[in-house]
Chain A
Amino acid sequence: MNDLLDLSLTDARDGLRKKAFTAVELTEAYLAAMDKTRALNAYITETPDQARAMAVKSDERLAAGTAGPLEGIPLGVKDLYCTEGVLTTAASHILDGFKPPYESTVSSKLWSAGAVLLGKTNLDEFAMGSSNTTSYYGPVRNPWQDKTDPDKALVPGGSSGGSAAVVAARSALASIGTDTGGSIRQPAALTGTVGLKPTYGRCSRWGVVAFASSLDQAGPFTRTVRDGAIMLGAMAGHDAKDSTSANIAVPDFEAALKRGVKGLRIGIPQEYRLKSLANEIDDLWQRGIDWLRAAGAEIVDISLPHTKYALPAYYIIAPAEASSNLARYDGVRYGLRSEGKTLDEMYANTRRDGFGDEVQRRVLIGTYVLSAGYYDAYYLKAQKVRARIAEDFRNAWSQCDVMLTPATPSAAFGIDDKQDDPIQMYLNDVFTVTVNLAGLPGISVPAGLDHKGLPLGLQLIGKPFDEETLLQTAQALEDAAQFSAVAGLRA
């Protein structure tokens, strides 16, 4: 059955329709894979009974000729999406035992399209982190190994570390994550998977545990660009329950893939050429440029002058929004409660016990920058800098159609590597965070291996609601990169 695990989503979809195998067979193969890779700690909750029941229904619909676009496709879902009747933790102690009485819009669209839920994947607590080490349920191990030190446990990136790891480890055919500052694209790069963050507003945020509402966006992890296009088609669309979701038609993303890059203008932002950039990353970037040029694209140097201010602006805006969003966790309506003599004490004790260190740090930073006397100096200033960053992109789009950058400043690092400097950890998102601030779509495509045999990704950035051009360029990159390496600790 192992060959079933090696099929792309596209091939599995086509195989199911041709009755080459059944949805139950495919799901059983993945449930066995989950069993085999459990040591990676990539799932917080496994839902085998639900998966089998859903697969049976899929086979019925396949037989009846009423199959949806994702019929019988087994998926992992980041445990930040509310799933009706299934434990939803946000990887936080504070949501202990929380079983939502509703289903998030994006996940319900996937089930309507016929997909099968394998389980809820691990993440950084409340999606705050770049290594999946802040989870209350423990870190996720990256299925990739450093060939010079194969026993060293590496991070899968974060915050959607579990969703990235399950796709790389073959314990899900695809998965969904969320991206607030790079939480899909960075772990995708570190696990050799394709990670797509759509334009802000493309997918509904309703039913997704909120971190920073003006930045959060749902997106897929897949093994190929085409798989990502198929997933996005099922996830996207206007939702009356999310007033920030865009009322814009969802194009046929898969159809855009064959367009190629001939005549497209690819922007290379000069400010991303950091002095500290590792040679391996710089070389990979240059290879990406050469690949796209060889495929017929025109390469244009562009400037995004405010790039260096993106991370500091993000680390004001995101914590500020988080401090507000996380105010709801107070021990009254759901999750953990730590007793106190007064109501205030009960709140404060619950939040002391329920939030981990990184979440507390960010809630405190957010509360500080929003507090009287500091609001203008920090929060308002950061929002103005954000406007400057968005303006940089608007100006650059007159010269190019899509941008090419590295996805991350390095490959996967060790779970036990020293992480006592929060800012050092924040720098993982240096290439991804601008995209969230400007609300743009971005994708990370696996493009090569470093000297330790670890995957590296290249990022493409698109114009708002132009995921088609983004995906057609990603397809060209994928075709040229011929990335065929697989993780050592896969099922």
Chain B
Amino acid sequence: MAIDTKTVARVAHLARIALPEDRQETLASELDTIVAWVEQLSEVDTDGVQPMSSAVEMTAQWREDKVTDGGYPEKIVANAPDPVGHFFSVPKVVE
């Protein structure tokens, strides 16, 4: 098995998802099945092939480097779970 519960725990930490212990076993087996299935890509000869990262060939457009939006902090924090004035709040990060 390429993906065990230890790998799941490591990846869950990277993804910042607090996985309950009892989910780790199921997920390890599900993810392992998926990864085993995608392994078939190794059959494809991709020597010298450029990786495709954009769906359609297009050149990014230049634009002037200037501020075109903003100036409404109350709208920005309107959906925040626990805003303080025009600020987002988070648990204390520095003791």
Contacts and interface: CB of A to CB of B under 8 A. Distances in A.
Contacts of B63: 240
Contact of A98 (B34, B79, B82): B79
A291 interface: no
Interface in B54-95: 54-56, 58, 60-61, 63, 72, 75-82, 88, 90-91, 93
A395 interface: no
B51 A380 contact: yes
Q: What is the predominant secondary structure among interface residues of chain B facing chain A?
A: loop
Contact of A439 (B30, B38, B55): B55
Contact of B30 (A98, A347, A361, A367): A361
Contacts of A352: 17-20
Interface in B1-27: 3, 7-8, 11-20, 27
A348 B51 CA distance: 32
Interface stretch (A61-69, A126-134, A382-390): A382-390
A480 interface: no
Contacts of B7: 368
Nearest to A389: B52
Contact of A200 (B8, B55, B81): B55
Nearest to A464: B56
A384 B46 CA distance: 6
Residue with the greatest number of chain B CB neighbours at <10 A, chosen from A199, A247, A336, A343: A343
A351 B46 contact: no
A303 to B, nearest CB: 15
A388 B46 contact: yes
A316 B31 contact: no
A387 B61 contact: no
Interface stretch (A38-46, A325-333, A398-406): A325-333
Given A332-B90, A341-B91, A348-B17, A383 B38 contact: no
Given A244-B55, A332-B80, 16 more contacts: A100-B79, A199-B56, A214-B53, A316-B41, A342-B91, A348-B16, A351-B15, A352-B20, A361-B30, A361-B34, A364-B12, A368-B3, A381-B42, A390-B52, A437-B55, A439-B55
13 contacts: A101-B75, A315-B38, A332-B90, A337-B81, A343-B91, A352-B17, A361-B30, A363-B17, A364-B8, A367-B11, A368-B7, A368-B11, A385-B44
Interface of A: 97-101, 199-201, 214-215, 240, 243-244, 246-247, 306, 308-309, 312-313, 315-316, 323, 330-337, 339-349, 351-352, 355, 360-361, 363-365, 367-368, 371, 378, 380-388, 390, 421-423, 436-439, 464
